[in-house]
Amino acid sequence: MFRSRAKEEKAPAADKALVTDSKQPRHPEAPKGRPTPKRSQAQSQRRSVANTSMSRKEAARRQREERRAALERQRQALASGDERYLPVRDKGPVRRFARDFVDSRFNIAEWFLPMAVVILVLSMVQVPALQNTALLLWLIVIVLIVLDSLVTGFRLKKRLNERFPAENKRGAVAYALMRSLQMRRLRLPKPQVKRGERP
C-alpha cells in the first residue's frame, strides 16, 4: 500500500537478474554476488590447487625417491659420522662422546657373541667334563660383562657430567652400554676413534 512504485519495479528486475544465465558477461560495476574470501582461505585454495596438479602416481613416485635419497644420506652418514644426516638417536655431542668413549676402550661385552658360540658348542659335546667347563665359562663371562658394564657406565657418567654439565644426558649411558655389546666392526655409526685414543 505504501510501497513506492520505483521499488516495485526494481524487485522483479532483481529476480530476473538471478534467473538469467551465468554465462553472460558481468557488468564491471555490478556486484559479484559472493563475499571476498579471506587471505588464509585464498592461500589454502592455491596450495590445494598446486598440490592436486600432480597426479597420485607422480606424488607417490616422488615420495619414494625422496625417501630413498634420505636413506642413502643416512647410510653414508652412519659410515662417515656426518652429524647432519644421522638418525635422531645418534645425534648430538653427548651421544657422539658416548660413542667415542666406548670405541676407545676394550670392552669384554663386545666378545659376548663369539664366546657364547664357543660355550654353546662345548655344552653340546657329550663329555661331562667339557659340559661343566662350559657352564663355568658361561658364569665367568656373565660376571665379567656385568662388572665391565658397571665400570664403563660409572666412568662415562662422570665424564659426561664434567664435559656437558648443562646438556641433557638422559639415555646416554644406556646408549653407550648397548653399543659396547656390539662387535667393533659391526657398530653403526662407524667408530671414529682408535682404541686407546682419549675422546
Assign 3-class secondary structure to 116-138: HHHHHHHHHCCCHHHHHHHHHHH
Please report the pLDDT score of residue 78 as a whole number. Answer: 83
Please report the pLDDT score of residue 32 as a whole number. Answer: 63
- Average pLDDT by consecutive 10-residue portion of the chain (199 residues)? 51 46 56 71 67 74 90 84 85 94 93 90 88 91 95 96 92 95 91 87
Residues 6+ apart with CB under 8 A from 49: none
* Cα-based angle 77, 179, 114 (whole degrees, multiple of 5): 115
Burial 110-122 (b: 16+ CB within 10 A, else e): bbbeebeeebeeb
Please report the pLDDT score of residue 25 as a whole number. Answer: 61
Please report the pLDDT score of residue 15 as a whole number. Answer: 46
Please report the pLDDT score of residue 107 as a whole number. Answer: 92
Q: How far is CA 114 from CA 44, 117, 181, in A?
A: 59, 5, 11
Q: Is the pTM of this model over 0.75?
A: no
